[in-house]
A = this chain, B = another copy of it.
Amino acid sequence: MFYAVIPAGGSGTRLWPLSRAGHPKFLHALTGTPLSLLQATYGRLSDLATPETTFVVTGVAHAAAVARQLPGLPEGNILVEPTPRDSCAAIGLAAAVIARRDPHAVMGAFAADQLVRDVPAFTSVLRAAIRGAEDGLLMTIGITPTHPETGYGYLHVGEPTGSGDVCKVASFEEKPALPLAQAYVDSGEYLWNAGMFVWRVDVFLDELARQQPSLHDGLTRIAEVWDTPDREEILAQIWPDLTKISVDFGVMEGAGVAGLVGTVPGQFGWNDVGDFHTLGELLETDTAGNVVVNLDPSAPTGVIMQDAERVVVVPQSGRLVAVVGVNDLIVVDTPDALLVCPRSRAQDVKKLVDSLKERGSAELL
């Protein structure tokens, strides 16, 4: 019995103005199909998990949207966090709730806003990770790097465990500068840390108890009352004071030092759809390399491109978008905000959003 946990959080800042706090990246159909990233994530896990063994952890603002996008998911499997307390609390809550039902269950955590092109290859890697988890390791799925990406953390791969493709993780490395990223890729010893974890809930909760005892105790207390009328009261009492830390920092790095972390390398067309440039590389282009990101295939998009090359247009306002004589540009047209930015500056959209926050334009975030 495999449990799939999908933390559905984060606003996808670099996909502004498409992705907003109120309608974040994972709810959008950025998959080249009518499916949202959340729906695609849910779908690709259905080979190994059933709706009954799949959980989505999300915030109060998105619980309803998650429920509607995943009509087959049992209501009780949508775990709603009262406030965001980072990934260690979100994933830990799911682990604690699952452990009450099945103390030695193997669970995996998979962000709701990533894309996988080769689902059979993904499933095969996931099966290998599940075997490593059954052997007692906290498993990460590492992505074989295709380029020296500076936007991801890396896993330094250690000794093979002797069990299939599973190796120990020697260390977790922060997002590197370009020369170091290049050295990582050239060495062949590093994988991208995609934030996909697989473990036995008892092994994880033991490590959580060792490294984050107060977080462990709080989550355990919440899980005890999860299926009782006391849930809301206990949540309200305990949740706001839980330690706010990512699962990488809070558990995995320390577990790695303790020799408890394993990995299997994966090559299945993984992408975090982090920004509009990346999105343009994922989706189908015309002969000039232009991409029109049509999020509602039932609606005609009014886009005219003349002498345009490698332009990414996201037409989301219903207006005509006319692009003449430009290259390598991003044009995102939404009902209340327009972004024009070169593909080479796609990462800087985050800075733009920061400056919107500074000027108090909350309605646009």
Q: Which A residues lie at the B interface, using CB under 8 A?
A: 17, 304, 306-307, 317, 319-326, 329, 331, 333-342, 344-345, 348-349, 351-352, 355-356, 361, 364
Contact = CB atoms under 8 A, between A and B. Distances in A.
A216 to B, nearest CB: 43
Nearest to A343: B325
Contact of A361 (B317, B320, B321, B355): B320
A336 B356 contact: no
A342 B319 contact: no
A345 B322 contact: no
Contacts of A326: 329, 340-342
B304 A356 contact: yes
14 contacts: A306-B352, A319-B335, A320-B361, A320-B364, A322-B337, A323-B339, A324-B341, A324-B348, A324-B352, A325-B342, A325-B344, A329-B340, A331-B338, A331-B340
A340 B356 CA distance: 22
B319 A340 contact: no
Nearest to A335: B319
A331 B351 CA distance: 21
A341 to B, nearest CB: 4
Nearest to A338: B321
A40 to B, nearest CB: 28
B325 A345 contact: yes
A17 B356 contact: no
